[in-house]
Amino acid sequence: MMILTNKRIYIERYGTVTSTNDLLKEKASGGAPEGTVIIADAQTAGRGRMGRRFHSPAGRGIYMSILLRTEFSGDEVCLTAHAAVAVAKAIEKQTEKAVFIKWVNDIYIDGRKVCGILTEKASDYVIVGIGINLREPEDGYPDELRSIAGAVFGKDSDYDADRLINDILIEFFKDNADLLGDYRARSMTDGKRILVRQGNTEYYARALGIDESFGLRIALRDGSETILRSGEISVSVRETDGDNK
Ligand code: BTN
C-alpha cells in the first residue's frame, strides 16, 4: 500500500496536550499537510478504542499521531495493521524481547499491553494515533490497567525514545511488501481460547489465524467458523485454555 504520496514528514512536538489525535484533527481540518506528525510528552485526555481512555503520563511513553490524506490505498484495518507492524519492528530493534500483536491493534510484550493504536478516519483524511508505554509510572498503573498494562522497558534499562520514534516513522512510511506475513508472524492469538466482546454480547471462541484482510478467523463452540472484522469488537486472550465457560 502506498502510505505517503508527498514523501515529506512534518514533525511537531508538544508538552502536554489533551489528545494528539484530537489536536491533529483540528489541524487536519485547518488544512495541515499529509505527513504531519504530532508528538506530545503527556496527554490529559488520551483516547483508546471503544471510548476507553489511554493513560498518558509525562516522560513515560510516546504519544504520537500521524496524518494521512485520502490518497493512501487500502482500508483502515490494513493501515492499522501496517502501523502495528511498524511499531513492533521498531521496538524489536531496541529490545531482545519477543514482541506480539494482539488482534487487531495492540502490541504485547511478556503478556502485557505496551502499545495501542487508534486509527480515525474522516472524509478527507486519516489519523493514526500510537500510544506506547515506555516505562512503568513511579506509582504504577491505575487500578483498571494494573492487570493488563506493561512497559517496553524495565525500570532500570536504558532506552532512546527519539530513536524509537524515528524507527517507527521510518517503518511506517516505508511500503511493506509482506505486511500480512509480518503481521501473522507476530500474531499472539493463534490457537488460543479468546473472549470476544461485541456491544453487550460476550462469547468464548478459539482463534485460528489472521485472514487475508486482517480479519480474525475463529472457531465457535458449535464447531462452525467465522471471521471477526475489527469495528466494535475486542478480544481478550484467556490465561487458561480449559473449558469454554
Ligand atoms: C487503544 O489501546 O485502544 C488505542 C490507544 C491509542 C492511544 C494513542 S496515544 C496517541 C493518540 N492520541 C490519543 O488520544 N490516542 C492515541
What is the distance, to the nearest Å, from the Cα of residue 94 to the centroid of all Cα atoms in its chain? 18
17 DSSP β-pair partners: 43
Residue 67 has pLDDT above 90, yes or no: yes
Q: Which residue has the cell 488482534?
A: 103
Distance of alpha carbon 235 from alpha carbon 102, whole angstroms: 8
Ligand 1 neighbours, Cβ below 6 Å, are 19-21, 43, 46-49, 52, 54, 63-65, 116-118, 129-131
Q: How far is the CA of 245 from the centre of ligand 1 (A)?
A: 32
Q: What is the per-residue pLDDT across 158-176, written as a single tens digit (0 to 9) for each?
A: 889 999 999 999 999 998 9
Confidence bin at 6 (pLDDT 50/70/90):
low
For the segment 138-146, the average pLDDT, to the nearest whole number, is 87
What's the rounded Cα separation, in Å, for the pair 22 and 38? 10
The residue with greater pLDDT, 1 or 10, is: 10
Rounded CA-CA distance 19/43 in Å is 5
How far apart are the CA of 126 and the centre of ligand 1, in A?
Answer: 14
- Tell me: the pLDDT tens digits for 213-222? 999 999 999 9
Dihedral pair phi/psi, residue 100, rounded to 5°: -120, 155
134 Cα–ligand 1 center, Å:
14
Q: Which atom of ligand 1 is nearest to the CA of 18?
A: 14
What's the pLDDT at 2?
Answer: 64
Q: Which residue has the higher pLDDT, 76 or 11?
A: 11
pLDDT tens for 94-104 read: 998 999 999 99
Q: What is the pLDDT of residue 62?
A: 98
